[in-house]
Structure 1
Amino acid sequence: MFENFSFRDSIDKIGAKLGEWLDSLILNLPNFIMAVLVFIVFIILSKYIGNLINKLLRGKVKQASIREMSVKVLKVIIILIGFFIALGLLNLDTVLTSVLAGAGVVGLAIGLALQGTLTNTFSGLILSFLPELQIGDWIETNGFAGAVTEINLRNIVIKQSDNNYVVIPNGKIIEEPFKNFTRTLRSRVMLTCGVGYSSDLEFVQNLTKETIAKAFPQGTNEEVEFMYEEFGDSSINFVVRFWTDVGKNRDILVAKNTAIIEIKKAFDKNGINIPFPIRTIDFTNNLSIEKSNDLKEGSKE
């Protein structure tokens, strides 16, 4: 009899609880429907805003991977805003506070664990909007030189002149200086040489400047500069500087090659000597000569 009473009592309590839940569901049904509709609206809104941002970024960010990641992050943020608003409509303030607190703790733990990765990620976002570094540019950085073939959220990839690829973390690019040959259309090339001490220095100077100016036409506010630097061991050394089109390191080598050929032709034509180091070797051995003379005098005696 006691067992029947306990069973019936439990059934009554369960029925009462279900009734309370049903009443609560009926009372909160408008808020629940509104919360679901708001959440769906934010999901649709994230899709359209993502497409709009993607179109706007196409003209500024050439890297597809960074565009896609930026759009995905934006979509997640919009959906999370909709989720929190939906919880607020359901009067789940306690749940909302717990979710925010948990997200903060988890975010802190993830940030500490992935500190290096996050640094490269944020550096990749910065590089994607940096006009001084774009895909196809020829750069020198961290001891490597080559054309930029890819920029993603972790690293950049450059293709060196020997056809090998180098992967450099984005954080290294942000922290270290880099030289970009492609950003400027014209660059100054410097070439050193020397002439003999018997040369007419003023004639050499004028001839060199005329030869370089003919091979490399100078633009507005550009000129060929010629300066003697020092009295060398076998020559009077000079440096000549001139402007030319440079898009990568190879262009500088080509310009120097052309300049050397033209200067050598002009010097040969005008009898100007480009001396090479001279060494004077003295084969005289006084000690051996004196010894030989002593031996001759001894034999005579």
Structure 2
Amino acid sequence: MNINLENAWNEMIKRLESWVDQLVINLPNIILAIIVFIVVILLSKYISKLALRLLDKSKLQRSMKNVIAKLVSVLVILGGIFLVLGILDLSKALNTILAGAGVAGLAVGLALQGALSNTYSGIVLSYIKQVKFGDWIESNNYEGEVVDLDLRAVTIKQPDNNLVYIPNKLVLENPIKNYSTTAQSRVILECGVGYSSDLEFVRELVNKTIVENFEPVESKDDVIFLYTGFGDSSINFEVRFWIDSTSALEVLKAKTEAMIAIKKVFDENDINIPFPIRTLDFPDNFPMEKV
């Protein structure tokens, strides 16, 4: 029993000595590999910045430029990894890695199907012109300004300054409403006046108010005024006009200013904006108790 333990101990000592000898022999290569890998990391960052500078001269979107620069950086790092394996004389391990790349790629592809889908969608979104940095968009029930677009998600800053990260796949597969594709936005304001109002006078007054308060509206012909129906308590109308903005927030601000101006002129001219009321008619012989 003691002999077996002694033999095992001696065998372990020989193995450790062999590993130490190999480490000492390969120590220069290990140090060189570490230095090369650090240089490759720094070089990838420099090449990424250089690629961005070169791409700035092109007409590609900013998001597409960022994606290309990141891909270039990844390729440089992959090349550095192969170089490090060569320095460490791990060519056999490299061949084994390449031989198993097909099977590993299939397994990784199945496991990371969602992530790869977002990556592909991010590349597509970076290339198309429907979504750009600074655009005000609405997608997947979220609305805001596009502040970032990477290989994982589209980042939207909402009017309340919160950030929403929408996966690229959802943005690509669902409808996108882009408020920034045109130079102007239309403001649509709905309101109602009492049944006793002079409808022609109301129309004239609203058109005049919009022209006086909004510079893009040069004449009454630029304002669309439509009566939309007889409501329960009011005659409803809708007024439409354009403003020089593509931001949904600016549209809401213009709508607010229009509401204030219209309410003010209505008050000055004794035009009533009724609220819902209910009138009860009782027959003459209806018994009622007096309180």
Same fold (TM over 0.5): yes
Query: CA offset at residue 138 of structure 1?
Result: 2.2
Please give the residue correspondences for 1:250-289 in structure 2 after superposition, counting only pairs within 5 Å: 250-281=249-280, 288=287
C-alpha RMSD of the superposition: 3.8
Query: CA offset at residue 283 of structure 1?
Result: 8.2
SS in 1 for 2:227: strand
Contact 1:189 1:255 in 2 (8 A): yes
Please give the residue correspondences for 1:59-70 in structure 2 after superposition, counting only pairs within 5 Å: 59=57, 60-63=60-63, 65-70=66-71
Structure 1, unpaired ranges of 5+: 1-42, 84-96, 293-301
- Rate the CA distance shift 1:62–1:281 in 2: closer, same or farther, 3 A: same
Q: Residues 57-116 of structure 1, C-alpha deviation per residue, up to 9 Å, x if partnerless? A: 335242475233221356589x69xx9xxxxxxxxxxxxx99876444333332222111
| CA distance in 1: counterparts of 2:255 and 2:217, whole angstroms | 18
SS in 2 for 1:156: strand
Contact 1:226 1:239 in 2 (8 A): yes
Match of 2:201 among 192, 197, 203: 203
Query: CA offset at residue 196 of structure 1?
Result: 1.7
| CA distance in 2: counterparts of 1:75 and 1:262, whole angstroms | 61
Match of 2:179 among 166, 178, 181: 181
| CA distance in 1: counterparts of 2:254 and 2:199, whole angstroms | 24
SS in 1 for 2:145: strand
Contact 1:137 1:147 in 2 (8 A): yes
TM-score by length of 2: 0.66
Residue 189 of structure 2 corresponds to which residue in structure 1?
A: 191
Query: CA offset at residue 155 of structure 1?
Result: 0.9
Residues 1:223 and 2:216 are matched in the alignment? no
Residues 1:164 and 2:162 are matched in the alignment? yes
Residue 138 of structure 2 corresponds to which residue in structure 1?
A: 140
Q: 1:276 corresponds to which letter in structure 2?
A: F
SS in 1 for 2:62: coil
Instruction: Decide which structure has the larger Cα Rg and report it.
Output: 1
| CA distance in 2: counterparts of 1:139 and 1:224, whole angstroms | 26
Contact 2:229 2:236 in 1 (8 A): yes
| CA distance in 2: counterparts of 1:249 and 1:169, whole angstroms | 22
Contact 2:52 2:66 in 1 (8 A): no
| CA distance in 2: counterparts of 1:50 and 1:145, whole angstroms | 32
Identity across aligned pairs (percent)?
49
Structure 2, unpaired ranges of 5+: 1-39, 84-94
Contact 2:189 2:255 in 1 (8 A): yes
Residue 31 of structure 1 corresponds to which residue in structure 2?
A: none
Residues 1:114 and 2:118 are matched in the alignment? no
- Rate the CA distance shift 1:263–1:248 in 2: closer, same or farther, 3 A: same
Residue 15 of structure 1 corresponds to which residue in structure 2?
A: none
| CA distance in 2: counterparts of 1:164 and 1:65, whole angstroms | 23
TM-score by length of 1: 0.64
- Rate the CA distance shift 1:108–1:58 in 2: closer, same or farther, 3 A: farther
Contact 1:230 1:236 in 2 (8 A): yes
Contact 1:218 1:224 in 2 (8 A): no
| CA distance in 2: counterparts of 1:220 and 1:288, whole angstroms | 61
- Rate the CA distance shift 1:51–1:193 in 2: closer, same or farther, 3 A: closer
Query: CA offset at residue 182 of structure 1?
Result: 2.8
| CA distance in 1: counterparts of 2:48 and 2:74, whole angstroms | 9
**Range moving further from structure 2, 103-112 or 181-190:** 103-112
Query: CA offset at residue 141 of structure 1?
Result: 1.3
Residue 6 of structure 1 corresponds to which residue in structure 2?
A: none
Q: 2:127 corresponds to which letter in structure 1?
A: F
Residue 11 of structure 1 corresponds to which residue in structure 2?
A: none
- Rate the CA distance shift 1:163–1:218 in 2: closer, same or farther, 3 A: closer
| CA distance in 1: counterparts of 2:249 and 2:48, whole angstroms | 42
| CA distance in 2: counterparts of 1:54 and 1:276, whole angstroms | 59
Residue 71 of structure 1 corresponds to which residue in structure 2?
A: 72
SS in 2 for 1:150: strand
SS in 1 for 2:190: strand
Query: CA offset at residue 286 of structure 1?
Result: 5.5
